[in-house]
Chain A
Amino acid sequence: MLRIPCPWCGVRDEVEYRFGGESHLERPAPDAADAHWADYLFNRDNPSGVHHERWCHSYGCGQWFNLARDTVTHQIIAVYRMGEPKPAAGEDG
Chain B
Amino acid sequence: MRGYSFPALVRHALTGHRRWPPAWRSPEPKKSYDVVIVGAGGHGLATAYYLARNHGVTDVAVLDKGWLGGGNSGRNTQVTRSNYFWPQSAAFYDRSLKLYERLGQELNFNVMLSQRGILTLAHSRHELEGLRRWTNAILINGIDSELLTPDEIKREVPLINLDARFPIVGGFIQRRGGLSRHDAVVWGYARAASALGVDIVQRCEVTGFDIEDGRVRGVQTRRGAIAAGRVCLAVAGHTSVLAARAGFRVPITSMALQAMVTEPLEPCLGTVVLSPVIHSYVAQSDRGELVFGGGADVYTSYAQRGALPVLEDNVAALLELFPAFSRLKLMRQWAGIVDITPDTTPIMGRTPVKGLYLNGGWGTGGYKAIPAGGETMAHTIVNDQAHPLIADFSLERFARGALIDEGAAAGVAH
A residues apposed to B, CB below 8 Å: 1-2, 13-15, 19, 21-22, 34-35, 37-39, 41-48, 51, 53, 71-74
By beta carbon, the residue of chain B nearest A2 is: B307
CA distance A71 to B303 in the complex (A): 7
| 4 pairs of A and B residues whose beta carbons are closest in the complex | A42-B251, A46-B240, A38-B399, A19-B299
> Closest CB-CB distance, A13 to chain B, in whole Å?
8
Q: Which residues of B contact A21 (CB under 8 A)?
A: 253, 300
18 contacts between A and B (CB under 8 A): A1-B308, A2-B307, A13-B309, A14-B307, A15-B309, A19-B298, A19-B300, A21-B300, A34-B399, A37-B399, A41-B398, A42-B342, A43-B250, A44-B249, A44-B252, A46-B300, A48-B240, A53-B299
The reply to whether the CB of B302 lies closer than 8 angstroms to some CB of chain A is yes
CA distance A53 to B205 in the complex (A): 28
Please, which residues of chain A bring their CB within 8 A of the CB of B300?
Answer: 19, 21-22, 46, 51, 53, 71
Give the chain A neighbours of B244 by CB distance below 8 A. Answer: 45, 47
CB closest chain-A residue, reference B249 = A43
| Interface pair B253/A72, CB less than 8 Å apart | no
Interface range for B: 20 to 34
**Chain B neighbourhood of A46, CB < 8 A:** 240-241, 250, 252-254, 300
B interface: dominant SS: mixed
B252: A residues at CB distance < 8 A: 44, 46
The minimal Cβ–Cβ distance linking A55 to chain B, given in whole angstroms, is 8
Give complex CA distance A34, B399 in Å. 6
**Chain B min CB distance to A64 (Å):** 15
Contact across chains for A73 and B303 when beta carbons are under 8 A apart: yes
Task: Mark interface residues in B244-277 (1 if CB within 8 Å of A CB, else 0).
Answer: 1000011111100000000000000000000000
Whether, in the assembled complex, B238 has its beta carbon less than 8 Å from a beta carbon of chain A, the answer is yes
A72 touching B307, Cβ below 8 Å: no
- Which chain B residue lies CB-closest to A21? B253
- CB neighbours of A2 from chain B (8 A): 299, 307
| Interface residues of A, dominant DSSP | mixed
**Chain B: minimal CB distance from A25 (Å):** 12
| Nearest-CB residue, chain B, relative to A44 | B253
Q: With A38-B399, A71-B301, A72-B302 known to touch, is A44 a contact of B307 (CB < 8 Å)?
A: no
A48 lies within 8 A of B241 (CB) = yes
**Chain A, residue nearest B241 (CB):** A48
Are B253 and A35 in contact (CB-based, < 8 A)?
Answer: no
A51 to B302: give the CA distance in the assembly, Å.
11
Q: Which of chain B's residues 369-405 have a Cβ closer than 8 Å to chain A?
A: 398-400
The residue on B at minimum CB distance from A43 is B249
Chain A nearest CB: distance from B408 CB in Å? 15
* Nearest CB in chain B: distance from A82 CB, A: 17
Are the C-beta atoms of B309 and A47 separated by less than 8 Å?
no
List the A side residues contacting B301 at CB < 8 Å: 71, 74
A41 to B343, CA, bound (A): 12
> Given the complex, which residues of A lie within 8 Å of B342, measured CB to CB?
41-42
**With A43-B251, A46-B254 in contact, is A71–B307 under 8 Å at CB?**
no
Instruction: Determine if A74 and B303 form an interchain contact, defined as CB atoms under 8 angstroms apart.
Output: yes
A72 & B303 in contact (Cβ 8 Å cutoff): yes
Tell me the bound Cα distance from A42 to B405 in angstroms: 14
Instruction: Determine the distance from Cα of A45 to Cα of B251 in the docked complex, in whole angstroms.
Output: 9
Q: Shortest distance in angstroms between A68's beta carbon and chain B's nearest beta carbon?
A: 12
Q: A16–B383 Cα gap in the complex (Å)?
A: 50
User: Taking CB as reference atom, which chain A residue is nearest B301?
Assistant: A71
Min CB distance B122 to A, Å, is 27
Q: In whole Å, how far is B392's beta carbon from the nearest beta carbon of chain A? A: 16
Q: Does the CB pair A39–B307 fall under 8 Å?
A: no
With contacts A1-B309, A21-B253, A41-B398 known, is A47 near B299, CB below 8 A?
no
Tell me whether A35 and B309 are in contact (CB under 8 A): no
What is the bound-complex CA distance between A37 and B251, given in angstroms?
12
| A47-B337 Cα distance, complex, nearest whole Å | 13
Residue with the greatest number of chain A CB neighbours at <10 A, chosen from B249, B307, B399: B399
B240 engages A45 (CB within 8 Å):
yes
Question: How far in angstroms is the closest Cβ of chain B from A19?
Answer: 4
A44-B251, A46-B250 given; name 11 further pairs at CB < 8 Å: A1-B308, A14-B307, A34-B399, A35-B399, A41-B342, A45-B240, A45-B244, A47-B241, A48-B241, A48-B302, A71-B254
